[in-house]
């Protein structure tokens, strides 16, 4: 898949990242490297990974020729070339760290998302991302999760209703919360904590249920009780090690905040050649 890097939030994120790193100037590069020197920078994967964010390179190296070899969503192995950037050596050196920070981080998210998707392969269950993202980088991180095969769910608080346990407490009951959101005009999901809440939600016509912090055995029992009367998302404690067990319990969706909040930056390098 290709990233749409035209969104103002993304362009602003790149500008802020460059300004944060460069400040008043890259003094090491300006002192060491002749202004007339030109170079090519080869971006190379140093481990197996799912790529994400390479489409940001033209925004970072604005006065260079950027040749993108692989695209977001591609599966790479150690040694695969990602892109070649040609231009002033000073520009390549100054933008190197910002480029790597973005692509290593986003590819880490995509790689972890792909691992979760692979873990439930062959079941009808799909992997959802969450709002547990780095502040200011949600759009990029959700695009990276999608590059790994996860389904983007809820961009923010504005595009879907998710009634959590604290909402139920504040509203007074499951029924009260559902009745007050019935005409929201957006998808509605409700978390239920007990079998009584589950039955109350089903009686009120809830179409999408969130079950949190159940064991796979408990989840299987609850899903059987629901009996396709609503779609079911499981969350809480979902890991690569147990994702398949939860999927085989009959869930329609598994959500994991780890995809964005705990992804490891993957190993990518940027090799300069004069």
Catalytically annotated residues = 97, 132, 164, 191, 212
Tell me whether strands 75-76 and 49-50 are parallel, antiparallel or unpaired: antiparallel
Sort 8 into a burial class: Cβ within 10 Å, 0-12 / 13-18 / 19+: exposed
Determine the number of helices (DSSP H) and then strands (DSSP E) in the chain.
11, 12
With b for 16 or more beta-carbon neighbours within 10 A and e for fewer, the 174-198 pattern comes to: beebbeebeeeeeebbbbbeeeebb
Place of tokens 């509605």: 188
Residues contacting 254, CB < 8 A, separation 6+: 116, 120, 125, 126, 127, 128, 233, 234, 235, 238, 243, 246, 247
Phi/psi at 211 (5° precision): -110, 125
């Amino acid at each position: 898949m290709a990233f749409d890097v035209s969104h103002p939030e993304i362009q602003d994120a790149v500008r802020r990242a460059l300004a944060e790193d460069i400040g008043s100037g890259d003094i090491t590069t300006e002192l060491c490297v002749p202004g007339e020197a030109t170079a090519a920078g080869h971006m190379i994967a140093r481990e197996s990974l799912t790529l994400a964010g390479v489409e940001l390179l033209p925004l970072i190296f604005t006065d260079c020729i950027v040749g993108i070899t692989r695209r977001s969503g591609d599966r790479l192995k150690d040694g695969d070339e990602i892109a070649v950037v040609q231009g002033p050596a000073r520009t390549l050196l100054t933008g190197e760290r910002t480029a790597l920070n973005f692509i290593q981080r986003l590819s880490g998210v995509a790689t972890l998302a792909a691992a979760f998707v692979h873990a439930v392969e062959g079941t009808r269950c799909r992997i959802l991302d969450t709002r547990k993202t780095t502040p200011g980088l949600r759009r990029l991180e959700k695009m990276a999760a999608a590059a790994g095969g996860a389904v983007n769910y809820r961009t923010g608080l504005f595009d879907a209703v998710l009634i959590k346990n604290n909402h139920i407490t504040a509203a007074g009951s499951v029924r009260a919360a559902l009745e007050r959101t019935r005409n929201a005009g957006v998808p509605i999901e409700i978390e239920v904590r007990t079998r009584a809440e589950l039955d109350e939600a089903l009686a009120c016509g809830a179409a999408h249920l969130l079950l949190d912090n159940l064991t796979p055995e408990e989840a299987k029992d609850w899903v059987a009780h629901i009996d396709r009367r609503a779609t079911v998302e499981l969350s809480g404690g979902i890991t690569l090690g147990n994702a398949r067990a939860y999927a085989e319990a009959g869930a329609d969706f598994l959500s994991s905040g780890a995809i964005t909040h705990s992804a490891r930056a993957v190993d990518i390098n940027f090799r300069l050649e004069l």
